[in-house]
Amino acid sequence: MAIGLGAKVTMLDINLERLKAIKHILPSIQTLFSNDFNISKELLVTDLLVGSVLIPGGKAPKLVTKSMIKTMKKGSVVIDVAVDQGGCIETCHPTTHQHPTYIVDNVIHYGVANMPGAVPFTSTQALTNTTLPYVLQIANKGWKKAIKENKSLENGVNLVNGHVVH
């Protein structure tokens, strides 16, 4: 959406294949390997930072430190989508829809936990669209055959016959 509105967008990630795929789909996006040097460099010119680190089952690492936030332009905005998992921005903490923002070092922070909760119908549609293919595989093949054929489904199995398997 930001690209469509004319913004210069940079995406940082540690997955080079993902960066290549994004660059193929959106050639105008700048992609960079995520490391302290590149994050620090980009924050000097960033108007809006969206932190969206996810470590399944774990706490998000603090990739943006307080000292990095101090280098950002006055009035810049940071949004920490990972705030539910501890956040990836050191200065960000969970907020509410009633009081969504606060300021640290002249940078506006937004850390509403459970952001999809603000748009329940849309988030339910997105979740349904994502999970329906898995549900159909299980329904059509049975769970045992479905998990043998799909590693993602297999990784999602936690209990079998009352025993923890993951």
CA distance 19 to 72: 24
Strands (E), the chain: 10-13, 30-33, 48-51, 77-80, 101-104, 107-110, 159-160, 163-164
Q: Decide: 27 and 47 in contact? Cβ < 8 Å.
A: no
- pLDDT tens profile 92-139: 999 998 999 999 999 999 999 888 778 889 889 989 999 999 999 999
List beta partners, residue 12: 32
List beta partners, residue 64: 89
- pLDDT tens profile 38-87: 999 999 999 999 999 988 888 889 999 999 999 999 999 999 998 988 89
CA distance 15 to 37: 17
CA distance 37 to 68: 10
Q: Could you tell me the two tokens for 3?
A: 């690209």
Q: Could you tell me the two tokens for 1?
A: 């959406």
Place of tokens 């105008």: 28
Phi, psi (deg, nearest 5) at residue 80: -110, 95
In the prediction, which pLDDT does 166 show?
79
Taking residue 134's Cβ as centre, other Cβ atoms within 10 Å add up to 14
What H or E segment, with its residue span, contains residue 30? strand 30-33
Q: Could you tell me the two tokens for 104?
A: 């640290």
The mean pLDDT value for 2-22 works out to: 94
List beta partners, residue 108: 77, 103
In the prediction, which pLDDT does 115 show?
81
CA distance 121 to 125: 6
pTM for this prediction: 0.76
The mean pLDDT value for 6-17 works out to: 95
